[in-house]
A and B are shown apart, each in its own frame.
Chain A
Amino acid sequence: MTKTTRRTALGAFSATLLTLTALSGTAFAQQTTLTLLIDNAPNTVASAEAVVADFEAANPDINIEIETRPGGGEGDNIVKTRLATQTMADVFLYNSGSLFQAINPAQFLVDLTNEPWQDDVQNSFKQVVTAPDGTVRGAPFGAAMGGGIFYNKPIYEELGLSAPKTWDEFMANNEAIKAAGKVAVIQTYGATWTSQLFVLADFYNVSAKDSSFASRYTAGEAKFATDPAALRGFEKLQSVYEGGYLNEDFGAATYEDGVRMIATGEGAHYPMLTFATGAMAEGFPDNIEDVGFFAQPGDDAALNGLTVWMPAGIYIPQTTSNLDAAKKFVAFVASTAGCDAQTRAGGATGPYLINGCSLPEDVPPAVSDLLPYFAEGGQNGPALEFLSPIKGPALEQITVEVGSGIRSAADGAALYDEDVRKQAQQLGLPGW
């Protein structure tokens, strides 16, 4: 290579570099990149990806990167650590209700009370993302869920059963299913969180008898062990085990097993939150029409109603450097376009908490069974964790013990009261 050609080559090379830099420079100047932290549940990831795709299409100048974190206690700690170290993503998804109160919302989250879209958010959701100072700090992501019992329709048809309104009817159904040689109740204690449903989903029945239970419980006056209505949840859990209705591998089976078993008819009942409809639709699309849903029955058919879980919230930490873009994205999530994107990704799993959001006509039966409880005159009420900041962390281990015959219902309830006392003390609540 001669000197001249080398110089030309170098010149051309640097010119190219300059052009590239200039080009990318202008490109970056127009683009804002937001980070979004979500949990790694397949449903959440699918919904978030769909919402982000629609949002980016509508806002070409904003680019969103999705980060995932584990769910459960580990995820809680990641969220808390990142908030405390000021390294939180620009927008993040986290629980509403009692866990929301534990991340010091007034200190860490941007106040969204006066955003125009708040007019469309239902009050029942605003309550569960309101900081102690009365400001609203989040928007709903996902649909409201019911806690109750999925049932397999072909088994019900084969045995001529109908959805029970009282616990006695439910137990009679279990007996008939067991007599037919099938698994009456699916339990999946391999994923311990699933063991809590019989206790938590019974809360509608508790509050139907005593509407002040939640406030007395927060004040340390009402206890699970001494309140007969509250104790019923633990007793129901025990009676299902003692009846011999459970699947053989209940101690090792996981949530995924439970979803498979109820969808394919390996078992007749599965106590679960209705967000599992999404997993069924994804994993067993051919069986989705076979699964129905009813609220956990109480002792009185006239008081039958549904315990409701609020969806997670989407929040902006005060450390964000892209506040305007972040607010734009949250506004999009809290719009009908946002819920349509979620429905497209994960199917409809329940009613949204944004006014104007609608569900498609052809929702799966488990979802259409859920809707009457939300309709005019329907009976529903929030789960205890949305009415009280206290939820004992060891409940899932205790319900595994009660639900597998290691401990009696009364003992389990008394132990849970101890656990609750510890949580209340840590939160510094008065009266404990």
Chain B
Amino acid sequence: MAAISEAGVATAPRPVAARKRRSPYPMWFFMPAAVIYAGLFLFPTFSSAWFSLTRWNLFSSSFIGLDNFAQFFREPFLIQGLTNTVIFAVTTSGLKVVLGLALAVLLTSPRVWRDWLRSVVFFPVLVSTVGVGITFTVFMHPTQGLINEALALIGIKGPGWLTDPKLALLSVAFVDVWRGVGLATVIYIAGIVSIPRDYYEAARIDGSTPWQSFLYVTLPLCRPATVTVITLSFIGGLRTFDLVWAMTRGGPGFSSDTIASVIYKQYQAGFYGLSTAGNVVLFILIAVLVIPLTMFLNRREGHE
């Protein structure tokens, strides 16, 4: 893949050259796409920025300046929602990197059942998140759930996975990893497969153990895959909503609320201006966390 060429070229002036190149299409070729983009993306973005400054009940709106933002930051659960969001994003993207890489190494090694295992790992990605959430809610029922009944067979009294405020968020994070690790694995498989065999042969001639091959060949050369997995799952984790909503609705109480579920609750309560303000906050938060992260990851990549 691009790994080798980019690593080789390092900070060559390639991007600059790309920018200078003239587009082969005349301007009006872009018009249909531009209209769609403006209608479906630009207009809603700017109108929601406007509505975040109003008290809006769908029927009428009145301008109230930054009051919604002030109220949103006064939300008693915003801080917990923020912390939960970051905990969730870091846990899930971390686990997806580790497990995705481990599974990818396993599934690229020449073994029987490989294709079958690949589909098994990828399968959860294809299932609807809400379906996954509801299924696991049933599995995690404190007294009748499959998980606790299985634990009871070996004499362990399982906790209330989704009803214990200390565990609820982590249980949801676990399900999110189960669901999303397939995608991470596929990205890693692509990254690992693209590493030329020569490197491994050279390493083996130098007497490296399999572990050393992994550490000094596989790991550095699939860095672009790692960057992709981290970025995607971190952004996904920050704006996670559907799984949390399907499994706990932010509960018990407020213990597994994320920013997105706090925003949705404001919307449900009919505080449309307030929930729009929350969306603007979420947008800014993702930008503030992810842009430096991507810059950091890409800079490291460029230096190697």
- Identify the A interface with B (CB < 8 A): 72-74, 76-77, 80-81, 83-84, 102, 104, 107-108, 189, 192, 248-249, 251-252, 393-394, 397-398, 400-401, 404, 406-407, 415, 418, 422-423, 425-426, 428
Inter-chain CA distance A400–B58, complex, in Å, is 30
Given contacts A192-B251, A397-B251, A406-B253, contact A249 B269 (CB under 8 A): no
Interface pair B141/A397, CB less than 8 Å apart: no
Interface pair B142/A397, CB less than 8 Å apart: no
**Nearest-Cβ distance from residue A70 to partner chain B, whole angstroms:** 11
B258 within 8 A of A: no
Interface pair B250/A102, CB less than 8 Å apart: no
**Nearest-Cβ distance from residue A415 to partner chain B, whole angstroms:** 6
Given contacts A77-B268, A422-B71, A425-B71, contact A404 B144 (CB under 8 A): no
Given contacts A73-B269, A249-B144, A418-B76, contact A398 B253 (CB under 8 A): yes
**What are the 9 A-B residue pairs with the smallest beta carbon separation, nearest first?**
A251-B163, A73-B268, A393-B269, A401-B253, A249-B143, A84-B58, A80-B58, A400-B253, A406-B253
B236 within 8 A of A: no
With a CB–CB cut-off of 8 A, which chain B residues contact A76? 268, 270
Contact with A along B248-288 (1 / 0, CB 8 A): 01111111000000000101111100100000000000000
Nearest chain-B residue to A85 (Cβ)?
Answer: B58
Given contacts A249-B144, A252-B163, A422-B71, contact A406 B267 (CB under 8 A): no
Given contacts A192-B249, A251-B160, A251-B163, contact A423 B76 (CB under 8 A): no
Nearest chain-A residue to B62 (Cβ)?
Answer: A428
Interface pair B251/A74, CB less than 8 Å apart: no
Nearest chain-B residue to A391 (Cβ)?
Answer: B269
Most chain A CB inside 10 Å of its own CB: which residue of B144, B249, B253: B253
17 A/B residue pairs, CB under 8 Å, sorted by A: A76-B268, A77-B270, A80-B59, A104-B59, A107-B59, A108-B59, A189-B252, A249-B142, A252-B141, A393-B268, A397-B250, A397-B251, A401-B252, A404-B253, A406-B165, A426-B57, A426-B271
Interface pair A102/B57, CB less than 8 Å apart: yes
- Identify the B interface with A (CB < 8 A): 55, 57-59, 71, 76, 141-144, 160, 162-165, 249-255, 265, 267-271, 274
Given contacts A84-B59, A248-B143, A400-B252, contact A74 B268 (CB under 8 A): yes
Inter-chain CA distance A83–B270, complex, in Å, is 14
Interface pair B142/A251, CB less than 8 Å apart: yes
With a CB–CB cut-off of 8 A, which chain A residues contact B268? 72-74, 76-77, 393
With a CB–CB cut-off of 8 A, which chain A residues contact B250? 397
Interchain CB contact (< 8 A) of A394 among B141, B144, B265: B265
**Nearest-Cβ distance from residue A420 to partner chain B, whole angstroms:** 12
Given contacts A80-B58, A397-B251, A406-B255, contact A252 B162 (CB under 8 A): yes
Given contacts A251-B163, A252-B163, A393-B265, contact A426 B274 (CB under 8 A): yes
New contact pairs (9) apart from A73-B268, A189-B252, A393-B270, CB-CB < 8 Å: A108-B59, A192-B251, A249-B142, A252-B162, A400-B253, A404-B252, A406-B253, A415-B76, A422-B71
Nearest chain-A residue to B58 (Cβ)?
Answer: A84
Nearest chain-A residue to B269 (Cβ)?
Answer: A393
Inter-chain CA distance A398–B267, complex, in Å, is 18
Interface pair B142/A248, CB less than 8 Å apart: yes
With a CB–CB cut-off of 8 A, which chain A residues contact B57? 80, 102, 104, 426
Nearest chain-A residue to B160 (Cβ)?
Answer: A251
With a CB–CB cut-off of 8 A, which chain B residues contact A249? 141-144, 163
**Nearest-Cβ distance from residue A161 to partner chain B, whole angstroms:** 27
Given contacts A251-B252, A426-B274, contact A77 B142 (CB under 8 A): no
With a CB–CB cut-off of 8 A, which chain B residues contact A248? 142-143
With a CB–CB cut-off of 8 A, which chain A residues contact B274? 422, 426
Interface pair A77/B267, CB less than 8 Å apart: yes
Interface pair A407/B253, CB less than 8 Å apart: yes
Interchain CB contact (< 8 A) of A423 among B160, B249, B267, B269: B269
Most chain B CB inside 10 Å of its own CB: which residue of A102, A397, A415: A397
**Nearest-Cβ distance from residue B267 to partner chain A, whole angstroms:** 7
Interface pair B143/A426, CB less than 8 Å apart: no
Inter-chain CA distance A248–B255, complex, in Å, is 20
With a CB–CB cut-off of 8 A, which chain A residues contact B71? 422, 425
Inter-chain CA distance A33–B144, complex, in Å, is 47
Inter-chain CA distance A397–B144, complex, in Å, is 24
With a CB–CB cut-off of 8 A, which chain A residues contact B141? 249, 252
Inter-chain CA distance A241–B165, complex, in Å, is 15
Inter-chain CA distance A76–B76, complex, in Å, is 24
Nearest chain-B residue to A412 (Cβ)?
Answer: B253
Inter-chain CA distance A366–B59, complex, in Å, is 42
